[in-house]
Amino acid sequence: MRTVKFTAMKDGDREDYAFLTEHETDYAARTGERLLDALVQLDEGLSGYRITRLGHSLQAATRAWRDGADTDWIACALLHDIGDIYAPYNHDEYAAAILKPFVREQCTWVVEKHGDFQRLYYAHHLGGNPHARERFAGHTYFDDCDQFCERWDQSSFDPDYETLPIDFFKPFVLEVFARKAYDASVIRAGERVPLTDPDMANKRTGASA
């Protein structure tokens, strides 16, 4: 396999770095595929729930899709817990860092903060603060994170829910990670897109009935 000539970065030349740029761009283009492979590993993650972590992720994405959510929301619903295996104490930040270059700022913020928002549902049982989210009160995306958790996250532990398979969501993930990183037209800082679209939801659920 071809490699650079240097053993210390300061000794590299234009040819070396042009080669690396091309090589790394090609590698980065397959990020979506690697994430889909990594998502499957969630089936080997934390047990104790009535469904696996992969099942939870798929169920959250299914609920998003059936709510008429757009591609960014669907991809984020699917990948919001991708950090559970490698970053159990900051899985939300881990997932947000992966998604940040390729989705709306709104969606990145919601994924990054969803751990604090989820505490509303369980922290009081463990002597914790269920209102940790309140430190974000007044933030532009506060209500979006509230709805993300209520509609798609906390509710997606149901073994009887009809959940769509991972292959169904592959095109959404590949579309997101095929985008140019940090494209301002994608990031759309400060813009809010509703989580739900009733018209699209009706089309999708009617088509899948």
**Integer Cα distance of 187 and 24 in angstroms:** 22
| Nearby residues of 193 by Cβ (< 8 Å), 6 or more positions away | 70, 72, 73, 104, 106
* Domain residue limits, the chain: 12-208
The CATH homologous superfamily to which domain 12-208 belongs is Hypothetical protein af1432 (1.10.3210.10)
Cβ atoms of 114 and 99 within 8 Å: the answer is no
The model's confidence at residue 169, banded by pLDDT at 50, 70 and 90, is very high
Q: What pTM value is reported for the model?
A: 0.93
Contacts 24+ apart (CB under 8 A), 52-56: 53/81, 53/84, 54/166, 55/159, 55/163, 56/81, 56/156, 56/157
Cβ atoms of 77 and 69 within 8 Å: the answer is yes
Cβ atoms of 3 and 17 within 8 Å: the answer is no
Closest listed residue to residue 84, CA positions, set 47, 51, 109: 47
- Residue 181: both structure tokens together: 């990183």
pLDDT in tens, 48-106: 899 999 999 999 999 999 999 999 999 999 999 999 988 999 999 999 999 999 999 99
- Residue 167: both structure tokens together: 């292959």
pLDDT in tens, 115-165: 999 999 999 999 999 999 999 999 999 999 999 999 999 999 999 999 999
